[in-house]
Amino acid sequence: MAYSQIDKRSTLIKKWFQRATRTDDAFDKFIYSWIALVIAAQRLRTYQGYNKEDDTDRQKILDYFNANTAKILQILEKHQSIMKNLASRKGTNYGNPIVDTGNRELRGKFSDLAAHYLKQKALSDEDLVIAVAELLNKVRNNGSSGKSVGDF
């Protein structure tokens, strides 16, 4: 990919993030931020020479969070009270911590994430950022079993 195309991605990231900061609608804020995040994740992959066509947004985000662990931890540190409130939340259908899901692996990650913020369990930095990335992806997928909103 040419450098100018990568540079255009920087502009797109800024535009989507600015949209997110200007709206008062929580759903729009999340979706606009998600779009900026996916573009940033793909941009990072392009710089790293990884450009698999059939890759998922989920995998891009997981890799992006892994590559930016220190930055993600700084953001989480600034928002500890929000994370603690989220950790105290129980899903409505099954009572799982944070977000209800039928996926056993995600249930475990979200339970560990909740326990971490409720001071019941310490997570490694890597496990913490991956659990948050999985949470964002789960919210983005609107609670579906891996399908994106556009797949319905």
Mean pLDDT of the chain: 84
pLDDT band at 52 (very low <50, low <70, confident <90, very high): low
Answer for the pair 12, 39: CB distance below 8 angstroms, yes or no. Answer: yes
Same-domain status, 39 and 75 = no
Answer for the pair 134, 25: CB distance below 8 angstroms, yes or no. Answer: no
Q: Give dist(CA 19, CA 96) in Å, integer.
A: 32
Tell me, yes or no, whether 118 lies in a domain. yes
Tell me, yes or no, whether 1 lies in a domain. yes
Q: Look at residue 142 in the predicted model and tell me its pLDDT.
A: 64
Q: With 90 as the cut, is the pLDDT of residue 129 above it?
A: yes
Same-domain status, 3 and 51 = yes
pLDDT band at 68 (very low <50, low <70, confident <90, very high): very high
Same-domain status, 81 and 137 = yes
Assessment of whether the complete model's pTM goes beyond 0.85 = no
Tell me, yes or no, whether 123 lies in a domain. yes
For 128, the domain range is: 69-146
Beta-strand ranges (E) seen in 2-152 are none
